[in-house]
Amino acid sequence: MNAELPRFVLDAADTSAITQLILRERESRDLGRWDEMRECFFADSVVRLSWFRGSGADFVTGSIDMARRQIFAKHRLSPVRVVLSGDRAIARLVAIIDLPVQIKGVEMNLATYSRFVYRVERRNGTWGIVGFDAIYMRDELTAAIPGQSVATDLKEVLGFRASYRMLSYYLASQGYDVDSNLPGEDRQELVAALTKEIEDWAGSKG
């Protein structure tokens, strides 16, 4: 892009490119466009979520496996806030993860409220994802058909973190190892540590 353009024009173009990158990654995940999703991540990227920790490429592989197991998550996304810092940037948004599930034979809807935080970087003129983290807020489990209910073992449920309790409960029932030490509304020290890590990496606050 022409470096002689005003700074605000260049910044607006970068913000738009990063926003589209994040939306492309999430849409590709929801629609099963795996090659397109994989292209959003750099090879050395790191993803840290409830059920996964590893590279972006391995995250795509894990997402494919999850879909094959008939676990189909969809995402409702807020607008993306981008903070630029040269060739690095932080992108934040609020997301609701919608997951249709069956628990003890009852169809349920699991909604997990979270904040997604992406670290993106420009390499050879192209923006790509180098980090993807979630900060969990709360979740809720409701019957898909009004009037139905399911009885859960209180001891099993209370063993999980409040900020992503029902998500953890369901994923554990499907054989996933759930990371119980992720940032969440109930662990503000972990949120602060992640915020510092990301802002130190970007070299800016925002």
Lowest mean pLDDT among 3-12, 14-23, 39-48: 3-12
> How many helices, marked H, and strands, marked E, lie in the chain?
6, 7
Per-residue model confidence (pLDDT) at position 1: 54
CA pseudo-torsion sign 36, 40, 46, 47: negative
DSSP, res 176: P
Examine the pLDDT at 3 and tell me if it is beyond 80. Answer: no
User: Which residue is associated with the tokens 């005003």?
Assistant: 6
**If you average pLDDT over residues 111-129, what whole number do you get?**
98
**Mean pLDDT score, 158-173:** 94
Closest alpha carbon to 21 in 44, 5, 42? 42
- Give the mean pLDDT of the chain: 94
Of residues 27 and 151, the one with the higher pLDDT is 27
Q: Which two tokens stand for residue 38?
A: 């994989």
Q: How far is Cα of residue 39 from the mean position of the Cα atoms in its chain?
A: 17
Q: Is the pLDDT of residue 147 over 60?
A: yes
Is the pLDDT assigned to residue 149 strictly greater than 90? no
Per-residue pLDDT, 153: 80
pTM of the model: 0.93
Provide the pLDDT for residue 123. Answer: 97
- Domains located in the chain, CATH noted: 7-197 (3.10.450.50)
